[in-house]
Amino acid sequence: MRSQRQLRVGEEIRHALATVFMRGDIPWPHGMMDMPDVTVTEVQVSPDLKNATVFVMPLGGRKLDETVRALNHIVGHFRHEVAQKITLRYTPKLRFAADNSFTYAQKIDDILHKPDVAKDLERDEDDTRDEGID
């Protein structure tokens, strides 16, 4: 369970990084000029506030692994930007990671819409209605 402080600092870092991505002045490594727009979905901060994992998703999910590698290659730029925007005793070390929650949610949705599972779900709904439970 993350503390209120971890959540607040994580959200501040997320906002700072979102601003950097919106400005678009990211020094992409050579040969990676056609990188997609990136969304920062979540930032998880360690209890000591010295490390932060930044979960990102490129627009449309294109080039996910390549984008994460490129962002980790230029992580110093982002740490500097975060230090400029947020006042903390220590600027956390950042690590970019792919946000797989969209893929996970899609898998669950696909499972729930399979005919045999949907049939069981409908049966469960009918049983609860028969018992007078809403």
Q: Are residues 15 and 81 in the same domain?
A: yes
Nearest Cα neighbor of 97 from 48, 46, 41, 47 is 41
**pLDDT at position 124, please?**
60
For range 113-118, the mean pLDDT: 74
Same domain, 89 and 126: no
- The SS3 of residue 7 is helix
- Domain shared by 33 and 79, yes or no: yes
- Are residues 35 and 88 located together in one domain of the fold? yes
Q: What is the pLDDT of residue 94?
A: 96
CB atoms closer than 10 angstroms to residue 82? 21
Q: What is the mean pLDDT of residues 59-83?
A: 89
Same domain, 53 and 17: yes
Asked if residue 88 lies in contact with residue 48, where contact means CB atoms within 8 angstroms, the answer is: no
Give the chain's domain count. Answer: 2
The average pLDDT across 61-90 equals 90
Same domain for 107 and 65: no
* 124 and 63, same domain (yes or no): no
- Measured in residues, the chain has a length of 134
Give the model's confidence band at 62: pLDDT under 50 very low, under 70 low, under 90 confident, else very high: confident
Q: 133 and 109 in one domain? A: yes
Domain co-membership, 95 together with 110: no
pTM for the model: 0.75
Share of the chain above pLDDT 70, in %: 81
Report the mean per-residue pLDDT for the chain: 84
Half-sphere exposure of 88 (CA within 13 A, CB side): 25
> Which residue range(s) make up the domain with 111?
101-134
- 101-104's contacts with Cβ under 8 Å and 24+ in sequence apart are 101/41, 101/55, 102/57, 102/61
Same domain, 47 and 67: yes
Question: What's the rounded Cα separation, in Å, for the pair 71 and 40?
Answer: 12
The band of 125, judged by pLDDT with boundaries at 50, 70 and 90, is: low
Q: Is the predicted pLDDT of residue 71 greater than 70, yes or no?
A: yes
Question: Based on the domain organization, do 76 and 50 belong to the same domain?
Answer: yes
Which helix (H) or strand (E) segment holds residue 76: the answer is helix 75-85
- 119 and 95 in a common domain: no
Is residue 96 pLDDT above 80, yes or no? yes
Please say whether the dihedral angle defined by the alpha carbons of residues 112, 114, 116 and 118, taken in this order, is positive or negative.
positive
- What is the pLDDT, as a whole number, of residue 128? 59
